Amino acid sequence: MTMSTLLQSQALSLMNLAKSYAKEVFISVQEEREDLTRFGENEITQNVSKHTIEVSVTVARDGRIGQFQSNSLDPEVVRPLLERAVNIIEYAPKDPDYPVFPQSVVFKDSSFEGLGDANDGDPALRAKKIVSHIRRCESQKLLTSGILSDQSAGTYYLHSGGTNAAYSSKRSTFSTTVMDSAGHSGWAMATEKNLQEINFEEISSIAIEKSILSRNPKSFDCKEYPVILEPSAVTDLLLFLNYVGFSTQSYVEDRSPLKRKLGEKVLHSLINIYDDHTHPLHAGMPFDFEGASRERLTLIEKGVFKTLPLDQKYAKKISNGQSNGHALPYPSSGGPMCLNLQLAPGKDSLSTIVAGADRYLLITHLHYTNLIDPNDITITGTTRDGVYWVEKGKIVHAVKNMRFTDSVLRLLNVVEAISSDQVYKSAFFGGGFVVPALKLSGLRFTGKTDY
């Protein structure tokens, strides 16, 4: 019996066991395999393999719930946890908005194929790819660090009302920083659906080229500059727009910066933002954590705020009662959330946008960006691994890193151009976004550094 078949059979047995304690039961099984090789200072420094399973069980009775989580489906392990979960029900208040969850929905292709017994890439293959990149850096007297990871993840969802859904996905990531002995650095990253699709030479070349271009940086005064944000830098803007601006819970509770603005123009008319699990660069699940079909959402159309993500509970509160499939596991402390954001592309390629720019900063990516004021989604962070001054369409010199502090809502209102080339990237604090580059008329810099 394969691991996946075993998991499926154990989850079904657990459902039968849990139903003997409670009328309504949800089970989700998250399985993840990750093989990751890490390198630094031109050598392999860490190399790991992990396989984890997380089972989460919710038992509900008359709008009251209890829960448990475990990395085992062994009845001996889960029975005492289940009894504790049932005990919690006794002390849980009744949720007056307790929803009716989707019943008897069987998603297409829901037979639980699981992840198999290993990822495709063996450690020697990953090492070979890394050694080749390190050799290129060594030949130019450069130092490199980074990761090459191979990751697969599966979700299996069961509801006592008969809903049954399963989904698995794969991601491989190569990310590298290259620097000279003085610390002038460049960075590049690619995430694809498997190792074979990553263009290692291209990523290696970009990081090396950026590092060389970063030499002899000039120090700029802190003020507002026109900027071109490469896609990786754009992800940090979307992360906080999603977390704060597209929070349905905050909207309903009247503490959102976009409160009462549905239907209004809130961003520049060039901006279109969707949540779209079907986008080829996303690996999104076709269902949410309540077993509802995940819909493609138009959140921002030509700058107008059109809709919000919904789960069953928030659908009852602000819509026609229909969830649009954006639930996190019930009872979500933060409400429904978009997990597959896409900022729609523009007309010109990034290279064309740079070629047409005069007196702009070109920014590779951002570091440690965090929310400083939710009232207008003001964020702060620093530039990193390549800031360049562009004059008459050409990079003329590097610029020392700076701290910026600015409002995401303001920045997405001063858009001059959006690139046609989209990529899948994560922000510094996580998430996965499909993003193009952005040309903005101004980003406010508030601090300098020596590095």
* Site for another protein, residues 53 to 112, rule: CB under 8 A: 53, 65-72, 77, 81, 84-85, 87-88, 90-93, 95
Work out which of 1, 41, 139, 141 binds another protein, going by CB under 8 A.
41
Which residue shows structure tokens 């020697």? 124
45 scored as a contact of another protein (CB under 8 A): yes
Least distance from another protein to the Cβ atom of residue 291, Å: 19
User: 197 and 172 in contact (C-beta within 8 Å)?
Assistant: yes
Stretches 51-59, 100-108, 163-171, 304-312: which one binds another protein (CB under 8 A)? Answer: 51-59
Phi and psi at 340, nearest 5°, equal: -135, 55
Which residues, listed in sequence order, are joined to residue 383 by a DSSP beta bridge?
A: 366
**320 CB burial (10 A radius; 0-12, 13-18, 19+):** exposed
50 scored as a contact of another protein (CB under 8 A): yes
Stretches 48-56, 304-312, 391-399, 415-423: which one binds another protein (CB under 8 A)? Answer: 48-56
Q: Please list every residue from 142 through 181 that binds another protein, using CB under 8 A.
A: 143, 145-147, 149, 175-177, 179
User: 315 and 322 in contact (C-beta within 8 Å)?
Assistant: yes
Phi and psi at 255, nearest 5°, equal: -130, 25
Task: Between 233 and 344, name the residue whose CB sits nearer to another protein.
Answer: 233
1 scored as a contact of another protein (CB under 8 A): no
196 scored as a contact of another protein (CB under 8 A): no
Task: Between 111 and 375, name the residue whose CB sits nearer to another protein.
Answer: 375
Rounded to whole angstroms, the Cα distance separating 126 from 210 reads: 24
49 scored as a contact of another protein (CB under 8 A): yes
Tally of CA atoms within 13 A in the half-sphere of 114 that contains its CB: 18
Rounded to whole angstroms, the Cα distance separating 264 from 192 reads: 36
Stretches 14-22, 39-47, 314-322, 417-425: which one binds another protein (CB under 8 A)? Answer: 39-47
264 scored as a contact of another protein (CB under 8 A): no
Query: What separation, in Å, do the N-terminal and C-terminal C-alpha atoms of the chain show?
Result: 55
Q: Please list every residue from 329 through 358 that binds another protein, using CB under 8 A.
A: 331-333
User: 166 and 113 in contact (C-beta within 8 Å)?
Assistant: yes
Give the binding-site size for another protein (rule: CB under 8 A).
93
Tokens of 193: 């659906």
Least distance from another protein to the Cβ atom of residue 350, Å: 23
414 scored as a contact of another protein (CB under 8 A): no
Task: Between 56 and 298, name the residue whose CB sits nearer to another protein.
Answer: 56
449 scored as a contact of another protein (CB under 8 A): yes
Least distance from another protein to the Cβ atom of residue 16, Å: 20
Least distance from another protein to the Cβ atom of residue 430, Å: 8
Q: Please list every residue from 360 through 399 that binds another protein, using CB under 8 A.
A: 367-375, 380-382, 384
216 scored as a contact of another protein (CB under 8 A): no
Least distance from another protein to the Cβ atom of residue 326, Å: 17
Q: Rg of the Cα trace of the chain?
A: 24
Task: Between 274 and 314, name the residue whose CB sits nearer to another protein.
Answer: 314
Work out which of 187, 240, 243, 289 binds another protein, going by CB under 8 A.
187
Q: Please list every residue from 267 through 306 that binds another protein, using CB under 8 A.
A: none
